[in-house]
Amino acid sequence: MSLRFGATRRDEPEINLIPFIDVLLVVLIFLMLSTSYSKYSQLKINLPTANAEAPQQFPREVHIGVNATGDYSVANQALQGRGLRALTTALRASAQGGGPQVLIVSADAAASHQTVMTAVEAARLVGITQVTFALQSPVPGSE
């Protein structure tokens, strides 16, 4: 009689991955569906409707002129004084009325920077927040 030692055959344990894959697919599908709809449920917004275009409100223009010597004009009326107080008073009288207003500064090329800044400061004191500067296009061939 011969005995065999050490040559026993062992069966490898099998891991069945199919149920594990099924569970992962179900979880993946659940996450995909829940995240795609979550952004719509966070905010409830009712958008307004309109049948016609809203009328536009254009700002009223207030003109200030500054010449090379530092004199001011408001709405084509020359001012007697050159100070901030006189300019503010004239702007307040010219800017009466409702709605937004824009200041248009027409300053001479030789006007000092201080006289232009005084005009802008007067507009700020009156409550005019939009300021633009008038200029002219250069004549071709004059450069």
- The CATH architecture one would assign to domain 60-133 is 2-Layer Sandwich (3.30)
How sure is the predictor about 82, in pLDDT bands with cuts at 50, 70 and 90? confident
Residues 6 or more apart whose Cβ sits within 8 Å of residue 63: 74, 75, 76, 104, 106
Cα(132)–Cα(107) distance, integer angstroms: 11
Cα(34)–Cα(45) distance, integer angstroms: 20
User: Can you give the pTM of this predicted structure?
Assistant: 0.55
How sure is the predictor about 3, in pLDDT bands with cuts at 50, 70 and 90? low
Structure tokens at 90: 């004239």
Cα(43)–Cα(41) distance, integer angstroms: 6
Cα(143)–Cα(82) distance, integer angstroms: 34
- Give percent above pLDDT 90 in the chain: 16
Cα(50)–Cα(82) distance, integer angstroms: 50
Cβ(87)–Cβ(118) below 8 Å: yes
Average pLDDT rounded to a whole number, residues 106-123: 89
Coil vs helix vs strand at 16:
coil
Secondary structure letter of residue 13 according to DSSP: P
